[in-house]
Amino acid sequence: MFHFFYFLGRYCLKAVDNLGRISMLFLETIYWTVTPPFKKKNMLDQMVKIGIKSLPVVLITGAFTGMVLVVQTYYQFHQLSVESGIGAVVGFSMTRELGPVLTALILAGRVGAAITAEIGTMKVTEQVDALQAMAVSPVKYLVVPRFIACTALLPILTVFSDFTGIFGGYLVGVKMMGIHGTFFLDNLKFLDPSDIVNGLVKASFFGMIIAIVSCYRGFIAQGGAEGVGRATTISVVASCMLILVSDFFLSVLLF
């Protein structure tokens, strides 16, 4: 029993220490984000890697999420003879919850892992130390472009995910399930613009989480290739957990 509480205490202390260090990195990132000079080329490169190259997987995920949602809800709604309400269900589910969360989880795996592996490799090969020796802030050079790209582009990717999810649900509902297309679309009018905006706000917060956690785990990587692999795994798991936890609190605050 003593050993259990001992390891539990050590785990809690380590978690608090990591949270404090992540908070310090976040504040330093905000400072360097608004401090000139601004490296536009680095930022554009990260936007291409994080945004454009992630678009195909986001579109596929959104489309099939909407399709599955219609398939799963149709039979329950059919028993109540309210099949036309599926349009509103798909719209609310995609814009409020599934669009932002699934897009963030996809990016945590695809982009977050790449960020941690890249910075972690630079750390263990002493390239980060070289930047400091040349009086270049690693946060300014490495973190800020990725932070801005994740924060700005995740809401945009979420819009694509929402649209393809609703469109995929429309195709399955109308072409496969026999729902009247006009009824499906008419029920989308119950969507309020605030639902869409709040979903995009959540996505922006998720982008911050992915960028900061991934960069932090890269900066503390050690132990060669094995250490970089371990840091990448921890980064993806921690990002996904924080996304799900923060999703609850943001939902309570926004909706």
**pLDDT tens digits for 103-125?**
999 999 999 999 999 999 999 98
pLDDT at 235: 93
What is the chain's length? 255
> Is 147 a residue whose pLDDT tops 90?
yes
- For a pLDDT cut of 90, what percent of the chain falls above it? 48
Separation of alpha carbons 164 and 232, rounded Å: 30
> Is 200 a residue whose pLDDT tops 90?
yes
> Is 187 a residue whose pLDDT tops 90?
no
Residue 112 C-alpha from the chain's centroid:
9
- What is the DSSP-derived secondary structure letter of residue 36? S
- What is the DSSP-derived secondary structure letter of residue 126? T
- SS3 labels along 131-184: HHHCCCCHHHHHHHHHHHHHHHHHHHHHHHHHHHHHHHHHHHHHHHCCCCHHHH
Peptide bond just before 193 cis, omega within 30 deg: no
Separation of alpha carbons 129 and 56, rounded Å: 36
- For 53-107, how does the pLDDT look when each residue is reduced to its tens digit (9 = 90+)? 999 999 999 999 999 988 888 887 777 776 777 888 888 889 989 999 999 999 9
Entry pTM: 0.90
Task: Choose between 167 and 135: higher pLDDT.
Answer: 167
> Is 243 a residue whose pLDDT tops 80?
yes
Give yes or no for a contact between 123 and 219, defined as CB atoms under 8 angstroms apart.
yes
pLDDT at 107: 93
pLDDT at 179: 79
pLDDT at 73: 86
pLDDT at 103: 95
pLDDT at 56: 93
- For a pLDDT cut of 70, what percent of the chain falls above it? 95
